[in-house]
């Protein structure tokens, strides 16, 4: 579902929740996948996360290293079940 996850530890977050300003330490994940898998990835994040409304946003890639972008696409292409790949 994703090609790579970068974990950026110790991000300080300040936000309003249920009428109060909250502050907390979190880890930020940058998850690389393709557009067609974003909904599936967001659903998985919501299933696993302890927050009732976890942050999950998608940003379009406007450019970059085409070799890397191609690698992400190859890594996130669904494989047919029973093809022998795990």
Which domains, and CATH codes, for the chain? 4-75 (3.30.70.120)
Q: Mean pLDDT across the chain, nearest whole number?
A: 91
How much is the average pLDDT of 49-57?
A: 95
Q: 33, 76 in Cβ contact below 8 A? A: yes
Reported as a single tens digit per residue, the pLDDT across 7-45 is 999 999 999 999 999 999 999 999 999 999 999 999 999
User: Residue 85 above 80 pLDDT?
Assistant: no
pTM: 0.81
């Amino acid at each position: 579902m994703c090609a790579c996850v970068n974990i950026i530890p110790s991000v300080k977050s300040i936000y309003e929740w249920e009428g109060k300003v909250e502050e907390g330490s979190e880890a930020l994940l940058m998850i690389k996948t393709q557009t067609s898998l974003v909904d599936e990835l967001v659903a998985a994040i919501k299933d696993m996360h302890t927050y009732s409304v976890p942050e999950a946003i998608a940003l379009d890639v406007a450019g970059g290293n085409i070799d890397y972008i191609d690698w992400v696409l190859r890594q996130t292409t669904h494989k047919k079940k029973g093809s022998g790949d795990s």
